Chains A and B, each alone.
Chain A
Amino acid sequence: MNELLQHVLNAIVLGGTYALLGIGLTLIFGIMRVVNFTHGELYAFGGYGMYLLGSMLGLNFFLALAFAIAAGFLLGVLIEFVLLRPVRAADIDTTMLVMIGAWIIMQNTELLAWGGVAKSVATPFPETPLAMGPVSVSPLRVFVLAAATLLILATYLLIHRSRLGMAMRATFQDREVAALMGVNINGIHAATFGIGSALAAAAGALLGPVFLVTPSMGDLAALKAFAIVILGGLGNVTGATLGGFILAFAEEIGAGYVSSGYRDAIGFLIIILVLLIRPTGLFVRAERVG
């Protein structure tokens, strides 16, 4: 029983960052119709940002986190501007191939820059875990969950309460009509890709210190983000949030009680099962952002 409680607690912490990853990817797909294969590399970018700013340059941990997320946003805007804007009119297969090319370039640039050895990120949190009755959790993980929750809430507020969010939702429903109503489509696409990228970088910056930062960390993250997004339905932000937690629970329980070697396979099995039973995702209402 205690073991189960511990797994649940771990899953909640992991689920928060998975949700961040999923929300970023689903926003980008919903509004831009782009399957973002660079998502995992932006996640790794966040992790390396923490390593560079926090561990190498000795910047304050929280400041480094803020800078890493901001850098993720800027990199996202840059990718949108350089790679996606020229192919916006093209079909979805073309943009997918362009993004796969970008993924390969980014991953190998990371390998060149950082080498293949895993890096660990120093944190200001004490190592001793906080004991809560039968279960325990490290202070770092508590912070990760809190920060992820804050970012998820901020994204919801942005989408539902701001003028930018309204314009994003309008673009999602009908790009042409939104443009006719004076929505700056170029700006919306840049902002969407930037925000999605920032969320991926945030997930990497938060999980990097928990685990290790490696050049291949982005691969699994990207594929897990796909699983989360399919679970929730492409373009569905609430679905992606729930999907993140469901995947984390499935992984924790699967790794704890079935086989830890197949932990990373669980997401893919979920994808195949969901597509078999309910291809539109588990939480789909009408297709819309929000």
Chain B
Amino acid sequence: MRRWLAGGWLLLLLSVPLWMHDQYLLHVLIVTGIFIIAAMSLNLLLGYTGQLSLGHVAFFGIGAYTSALVSLGFEIDIFGYPVVHEPWPELAGFAIGTALAGLCGYAIGRLSFKVRGAYFVIVTISFAEVMRLVALNWVELTQGPAALTNISPFKFAFPGIGSFTFWSKTSNYYLVLGSALLAYAIIKRIVESRIGRAMIALKENEPLALSLGIDVTRYLVLAAVVSAALAGAAGSLYAHYIRIIDPSIFLFIYTVTMVIMVITGGKGTLAGPVVGGVIFGFLPVIVRSFAAPELQWILYGALMIAIVVLLPEGIVPAVERWIANRGPNSARPSDVLADHS
């Protein structure tokens, strides 16, 4: 049953460009897909290890800037020594951006898992804000507020056959869909393995997990690295799709968007960020037709408070429980898991 359902969803997603000819909606779908990848990566940290990271956009932005700069090339001056970088292929930018974001995740993880709770939250916010100020002030490298423009779209070269460049919306849709499915598979693989069970054990009862010999810091840092790298990859996809980035990519409000996607859908569930991402990807499109952007944000804020207070576990676990209570076979393993998350 579940397999059929998954297959149906996949067919539906694959067929979207065939029946949706509105280019704007396709664009919204692509950007939503990119943010869903970022939200899924945040969920690994927030949902499975229970660490509220409010600087997640930093990794997204690092991935975007690094990938753009590697593919655009740059000339800077470091302590009097000129550093010149010739443009490299976009895929190299993607790889380096992802790796650098993961490395930053490692550094932040090592540093801040010594301090939890409110401290961790503030460290992550500060990190994102420092990144924004660097992007704003290191004009030689980032062009500052003038933005990096003319970022080239992704290009796959097949030796001997030719090459394919992702100019069209349809091709970018499939690129993002493929990446999102890959990210989903990676996260599913992690959380359903020993590592994932260790993470959940940490969230549920850290002293008990410690006493069972689970190396807390190691698993938390691992989660931070994977989470940051996936966010960086999403940032790289964003940079090469939108093709212009400026320091506002590091704004706190984007982190809030990711957080609200995760908690609305259901943190600590695989489907949660996807459900939340679709809702908050398309909500602005609907709200924008009749209200000012400020009103849209006010609505976000109010929804965030309402969900945290009224539906703290999120939509996916609530729906799963509702279905389980209706059916006769009310104790499927997935529901037991949902109860714990």
The residues of A with any CB-CB pair to B shorter than 8 Å are: 29, 35, 83, 86-87, 90, 92-94, 96-98, 100-105, 107-109, 111-112, 219, 223, 226-227, 230, 234, 259, 261-262, 264-265, 267-269, 271-272, 275-276, 279
Contacts and interface: CB of A to CB of B under 8 A. Distances in A.
B295 A96 contact: no
Interface residues of B, number: 41
Contacts of A112: 292, 294-295, 298
Given A100-B54, A100-B259, A268-B127, 16 more contacts: A35-B121, A87-B308, A92-B117, A96-B52, A100-B301, A100-B304, A107-B297, A108-B294, A108-B295, A112-B292, A261-B137, A262-B133, A265-B129, A268-B129, A268-B130, A275-B111
B319 interface: no
Most buried by B among A96, A101, A111: A101
Interface of B: 50, 52, 54, 111-112, 114-115, 117-119, 121-123, 125-127, 129-130, 133-134, 136-137, 252-253, 256, 259, 263, 292, 294-295, 297-298, 300-305, 308-309, 312
A93 B304 CA distance: 13
24 contacts: A29-B118, A94-B308, A96-B52, A96-B118, A96-B121, A97-B259, A97-B263, A97-B305, A101-B305, A102-B305, A104-B300, A108-B297, A111-B294, A112-B295, A112-B298, A230-B119, A261-B136, A268-B133, A269-B130, A271-B122, A272-B123, A272-B127, A275-B111, A275-B115
A272 B126 contact: yes
A119 B133 CA distance: 24
A223 B123 contact: no
Nearest to A83: B305
Contacts of B298: 104-105, 108-109, 112
Given A108-B295, A223-B126, A275-B111, A98 B137 contact: no
Given A83-B305, A108-B295, A272-B126, A234 B118 contact: yes
B137 A262 contact: yes
A99 to B, nearest CB: 9
A270 to B, nearest CB: 9
Contacts of A93: 50, 52
Contacts of A97: 52, 259, 263, 304-305, 308
Contacts of A105: 297-298, 301-302
Contacts of B121: 35, 96
A261 B133 CA distance: 8
A236 to B, nearest CB: 14
Contacts of A100: 54, 256, 259, 301, 304
A35 B118 contact: yes
B292 A101 contact: no
Nearest to A226: B122
